[in-house]
Amino acid sequence: MILEGIVTTLDPHGAVNVAPMGPIVDERITRLTLRPFQTSQTYRNLKSHPFGVFHVTDDVRLIAQAALNLLPETQKTFPAVKIAGQALSDCCRWYEFRVLSLDDSQERTQIEAEVVHVGHGRDFLGFNRAKHAVLEATILATRLHLLPMEQVRAELDRLGSPVEKTAGPAELEAWRIVMEYVDNWCESKSSV
């Protein structure tokens, strides 16, 4: 199963990188299969420092900002318990992991990792159709360079309905962030 969340890693200077990632996990989340592209900071960090933290969160605004490179400069973190790493302060659960193997023979690296510590933050708020719609819209926004704009717009129109019907303030803000990103991308392409 793929579980969407956030991964934090450290660069060689100890700076925290926050990135959205959907690792393949087992039912008990004891192992993770991460598949970052070799162009990503997450890949470079895990290759040089084979430890990280995977976070489960219901904050779609955080996921959208991280996916679209719109995060504020710093995120509130605290030191991980069992690894040299940082965990996000506002998450539901976190899974500290160590890399067991890293195969970068393909463009998309396959990293096998084992969870060495699980921590619990705040309670998971629950399901909301708007959260899922924002998550799907965010994934679309990261693929604008790959998909026809007509297809993207049609899908965003479809996803807008559950946001309109079920969103709270956080989901509405996340939706706004994604829509502005898409509009800005389209504008930059039309002015070329």
Mean pLDDT of 24-40: 95
Domain end, chosen from 99, 120, 141, is at 120
Mean pLDDT of 134-157: 94
Confidence class for position 95, pLDDT limits 50, 70, 90? very high
Answer whether residue 127 shows pLDDT above 90: no
Residues 163 and 82 occupy one common structural domain: no
Residues 102 and 166 occupy one common structural domain: no
Residues 147 and 100 occupy one common structural domain: no
Residues 67 and 112 occupy one common structural domain: yes
Write down the mean pLDDT value for the chain: 94
Q: Could you give the 3-state DSSP secondary structure of residue 106? A: coil
Mean pLDDT of 157-170: 95
What pLDDT score does 72 carry? 84
Residues 116 and 37 occupy one common structural domain: yes
What pLDDT score does 62 carry? 93
What pLDDT score does 174 carry? 96
Residues 163 and 115 occupy one common structural domain: no
Q: How far is CA 1 from CA 6, 29, 80, 103, 134, in A?
A: 16, 10, 25, 20, 20
What pLDDT score does 74 carry? 80
Q: What CATH number corresponds to the domain at position 66?
A: 2.30.110.10
Residues 92 and 33 occupy one common structural domain: yes
Distance CA 97, CA 75 (A): 20
What pLDDT score does 192 carry? 62
Domain coverage including residue 106: 5-120
Number of domains present in the structure of the chain: 2
